[in-house]
Structure 1
Amino acid sequence: MNILLIMDPGIPVPPLQYGGHERLVYMFAEEYTRLGHHVTLLAGPGSKISGEVVEFGVNDLDRSKKQRNMEMLFAWKYLRKNHSRFDLIHNFGRLMYLLPVLNKPVKKIMTYGRPVSKKGIKIVTTLPNRNLVFTACSNYCVSTGNVAGKWHTVYNAIDFSRYHTAQQVPDDAPLMFLGRLDKIKGAHTAIAVAKATGHQLILAGNIPHTPDNLEYFKNEVEPLIDGEQIKYVGALNDEEKNYWLKQAKALLFPIEWDEPFGIVMIEAMACGTPVIAFKRGSVPEVVQNGVNGFICNTTDEMIDALQRVDKIDRQQVRASAEKRFAVSVIADNYLQL
């Protein structure tokens, strides 16, 4: 097949550090190519895949509305001219990119990795359309947009070959928190769990730049970073994630919002590291109690679960996740659609 993948500009594909969706698009591009398909990628400057790349827009997450509108016009022009070249258009970008080809025979998959705008779905599905399928990265995420059209859950994926498992770790192995250091990610709770149990905590992730979250970081997280029990190691690339995750006793995921998926959970599992997470969003779909981690409702439950984490087989943690979330499995799910 000839496949067109679309990703919003702002971060190149693949990303250097932050950019979960861009990393996913790159993996699917490479997997589709490995399977013998011809892949074209429409994405921001500096993007690279084994197939063809068409660059558009600028790499700036804070770019203006005018710039975003120019990007949409470029996508419309490209799709009007080239849609007949493709058997499948797989869009990870803005839904409106698909407007010129909604009623064309080319097959279209619109994939969401975050809560969905019901308004956009209602507008698009009232227009004449053919061969359009919506997917989202969890049952929870599907539920946010499933008001019209054909919907399927297709989970996120990682390349398990890039992660290595530690079969066991010492009793005093550190805990890990990996994610943006926004309040809703719960770094303050992870610190509280570490202090209550006497464990070292490795904090990793981007320091926020929005005023409210930066204030949270400065007031509730940074003063507790002592470089010994609570250690901050910055934003991590893939190699650094592997290094820190595989030596952790558990990944703490004390989110205070309904996370659509949380790729960091399966990154930890790929390293054999159990995940102890709050029951929000997609967590009950990813974490299997007693198999690859524990699902909790409170900080006290998280502390209690940590006392039982040594009973979990780290090889089984990886195996259970790879069976469900390997890029080969998820790419096949998309192609079956």
Structure 2
Amino acid sequence: MTDRSLRLVLVSTPIGWVGSGAGGGVELTLSSLVQGLAQQGHQLTLIAPRGSSLPKGCSTLSIKLVEVAGADQPSWQHADEDAPVLIPPMGVLPAMLEEALRLSAEADAVLNFGYDWLPMWITPWVPAPMFHLISMGAVSMVMKRAIESVSRWNQGRLAFHTLRQASDFDLLQPARVVGNGFDLSQYIFREESGGPLGWAGRIAPEKGLEDAAAAAAALGDRLLVWGLREDDAYANAVEAAVPAGTIEWRGFLSTSDLQKELGDCRALLNTPKWNEAYGNVVVEAMACGVPVIAYDRGGPGELVRSGENGLLVSPDDVSELTAAVSRCETIQRRACRDWVERHASCAVFSQRVETWIREGLAADGNITAMH
């Protein structure tokens, strides 16, 4: 018997409205998954902060957008290890969860994208089956414990982007890894291999831009930099440490504009200083045919197959990073695109997520979602 469509309530990140860029890679993940699940015929309601819009490519699909007012939730991204839980007065996070639970009576499951304590804590106590796509590693002790607590109660409710991300947590069972997905129709493959070096990500210390800039400077090369400038003092310090003209700031661009410029690069440098959960820009570059030279750390170290779609170098080793640039032309650009098509398309990603949710519901005895 053919599986019937699922009725899903999706809860967006509470850090900025969808389209603002404040949610970082979660926004791209959300966009891809909403599109993929809708194309598979599932009935979706997306709950997001006021001002949000449906992701590009979703306007013609049957998706209901519910906007909720409230103050943005502080990000755990830069929190200290022992940071406490903070919820602003009139915060958007509890307001979105209230709406999700109200709508869950007519849904099969709630899928949460927000990396925060409150949705984890309420999961065992609400009648709605709540699933969580975890977007970061263990950035603080309270979040580590909250995620591990859900794991001990029912690990089937958790999924991760990579095994390296999941390794941050003490799980009782092997982690469910769903990867990530991209609308590949938005990324034009570029066969030519010339052009400058590129770097993309939030402009913040944990992303390690200074190492990429130092490598470009050592080669006398330009480094195109794309991303939301979160920390001006850090950005200015990185620029001051290399010769004038080394860094060319390109700003935070739409996917369409980013891939046009990114595709011109001969390589993308990826230099995370922390356990990156996945590495969206790594896959975006490869989708354009651009090889990635990455530190063998976190998600990027799991995505880059050295010699196939890029090169891995020792973490924090700028000299090794610099030397690897001369070898990037040994990577076939078509092989980069082929890897993405096999492992990280919208369809592949959404099917993994659907399977995870169906199996989780079935394990809980909810057989109606399976038929």
Pair 1:114 & 2:114 matched: no
Secondary structure of 2:339's counterpart equals helix
**Considering only aligned residues, what root-mean-square deviation do their CA atoms show, in Å?**
2.7
Deviates more, 1:271-280 or 1:255-264: 255-264
Deviation string, structure 1 residues 89-140 (Cα, Å, up to 9, x no partner)? 211123533655636665432111101422113444566x6x9421111101
CA distance in 1 between partners of 2:137 and 2:229 (Å): 23
CA distance in 2 between partners of 1:120 and 1:68 (Å): 22
Give 1:161's aligned residue.
185
Deviation string, structure 1 residues 229-272 (Cα, Å, up to 9, x no partner)? 43222222212211221000100112222222111100100110
Give 1:141's aligned residue.
165
Give 2:287's aligned residue.
270
**Residues 150, 243 of structure 1: alpha-carbon distance in 2 compared, 3 angstrom cutoff:** same
Deviates more, 1:182-191 or 1:157-166: 182-191
CA distance in 2 between partners of 1:124 and 1:55 (Å): 27
Give 2:226's aligned residue.
204
CA distance in 2 between partners of 1:17 and 1:65 (Å): 18
CA distance in 2 between partners of 1:92 and 1:185 (Å): 21
Deviation string, structure 1 residues 141-175 (Cα, Å, up to 9, x no partner)? 111224357731111222111111110133xx201
Deviates more, 1:8-17 or 1:98-107: 98-107
Give 1:258's aligned residue.
275
CA distance in 1 between partners of 2:14 and 2:53 (Å): 13
Q: Pick the aligned partner of 2:304 from 287, 291, 294.
A: 287
Pair 1:36 & 2:41 matched: yes
Q: Size of the alignment, in residue pairs?
A: 328
Give 2:313's aligned residue.
296
Q: Which amino acid aligns with 1:331?
A: S
Secondary structure of 1:102's counterpart equals helix
CA distance in 1 between partners of 2:183 and 2:121 (Å): 32
Unaligned runs of 5+ in 1: none
Any conservation in 2 of the 1:276–1:295 contact (CA below 8 Å)?
A: yes
Deviates more, 1:259-268 or 1:65-74: 65-74
Secondary structure of 1:184's counterpart equals helix
Secondary structure of 1:154's counterpart equals coil
5 Å-filtered alignment, 1:1-337, equals 1-15=6-20, 19-49=24-54, 50=61, 51-58=63-70, 60=72, 65-67=86-88, 70-93=91-114, 94=116, 96-97=118-119, 102=124, 106-116=128-138, 117-124=143-150, 132-148=156-172, 151-170=175-194, 173-209=195-231, 214-222=232-240, 224=242, 226-227=244-245, 229-297=246-314, 298-337=317-356
Q: Which amino acid aligns with 1:288?
A: R
Unaligned runs of 5+ in 2: 1-5, 55-60, 76-84, 357-371
Any conservation in 1 of the 2:162–2:277 contact (CA below 8 Å)?
A: yes
Any conservation in 2 of the 1:108–1:132 contact (CA below 8 Å)?
A: no
Structure 1 residue 310: deviation in Å?
Answer: 1.0
Runs of 4+ with deviation above 6 angstroms: none
CA distance in 2 between partners of 1:100 and 1:188 (Å): 40
CA distance in 2 between partners of 1:216 and 1:79 (Å): 38
Q: Which amino acid aligns with 2:105?
A: S
CA distance in 1 between partners of 2:349 and 2:50 (Å): 26
Any conservation in 1 of the 2:137–2:275 contact (CA below 8 Å)?
A: no
CA distance in 2 between partners of 1:17 and 1:239 (Å): 18
Any conservation in 2 of the 1:107–1:132 contact (CA below 8 Å)?
A: no
